[in-house]
Amino acid sequence: DSGVTQTPKHLITATGQRVTLRCSPRSGDLSVYWYQQSLDQGLQFLIQYYNGEERAKGNILERFSAQQFPDLHSELNLSSLELGDSALYFCASSVVPAPSSGELFFGEGSRLTVL
Amino acid sequence: AQSVAQPEDQVNVAEGNPLTVKCTYSVSGNPYLFWYVQYPNRGLQFLLKYITGDNLVKGSYGFEAEFNKSQTSFHLKKPSALVSDSALYFCAVRDGGYNKLIFGAGTRLAVHP
Distance CA B71, CA B76 (A): 14
Convert the pLDDT of each residue in A69-114 to its tens digit. 999 999 999 999 999 999 999 999 988 655 456 688 999 999 999 9
Q: B45 CB near a chain A CB, below 8 Å? A: yes
**Mean local confidence (pLDDT), A9-27:** 97
Interface probe, candidates A104, A105, A108, chain B, greatest B C-beta count within 10 A: A104
Inter-chain touch A108–B102, beta carbons under 8 Å: no
Nearest Cα of chain A lies from the Cα of B53 at a distance, in angstroms, of: 12
- Judge contact between B109 and B102, C-beta under 8 A: no
Q: How far is CA A112 from the centre of its chain?
A: 12
Q: For residues A24 and A103, which has the higher predicted lDDT (pLDDT)?
A: A24
Compute the nearest-CA separation of A81 from chain B (Å): 23
CB atoms within 10 A of CB A27: 8
Torsion sign across C-alpha atoms B2, B7, B12, B16: negative
B72 touches chain A (CB under 8 A): no
In angstroms, the CA B93 to CA B103 distance is 7
- Beta-carbon separation of A92 and B51 below 8 A: no
Cross-chain CB nearest to A103 (options B41, B49, B98): B49
Say which of A98, A108, A109 has its CB closest to residue B99. Answer: A98
CA-CA-CA-CA torsion sign (A108, A111, B2, B5):
positive
Do B43 and A106 lie within an 8 Å CB cutoff?
yes
Mean pLDDT score, B90-97: 86
- H/E run at residue A33: strand A31-38
Kindly tell me if the per-residue pLDDT of B84 is higher than 90: yes
Average pLDDT over residues B90-99: 82
Quick check: helix, strand or coil at residue A38?
A: strand
The mean pLDDT value for A45-73 works out to: 93
Residue B18 binned pLDDT confidence (cut-offs 50, 70, 90): very high
Judged against a pLDDT cut of 80, whether residue B98 lies above it is answered with no
Q: How many beta carbons lie within 10 A of that of residue B94, not counting itself?
A: 24
Looking at the complex, does the CB of residue B96 fall below 8 Å from at least one CB of chain A? Answer: yes
- pLDDT of A101 reads 65
In whole angstroms, give the CA distance from residue A80 to residue A16. Answer: 4
Q: What is the per-residue pLDDT across B49-64, written as a single tens digit (0 to 9) for each?
A: 998 888 999 999 999 9
Mean pLDDT, rounded, of chain B: 93
Which pLDDT value is given to residue A1?
Answer: 83
Query: Which pLDDT value is given to residue A99?
Result: 47
Of residues A11, A15, A24, A10, the one with CA closest to residue A105: A24
Chain B, 19 to 38: residues with Cβ < 8 Å from chain A are 32, 34, 36
Residue A42 pLDDT level (bands cut at 50, 70, 90): confident
State chain A's mean pLDDT as an integer: 92
Residues A29, A94 contacting (CB under 8 angstroms): yes
* Partners of residue B97 in chain A, C-beta under 8 Å: 97, 99
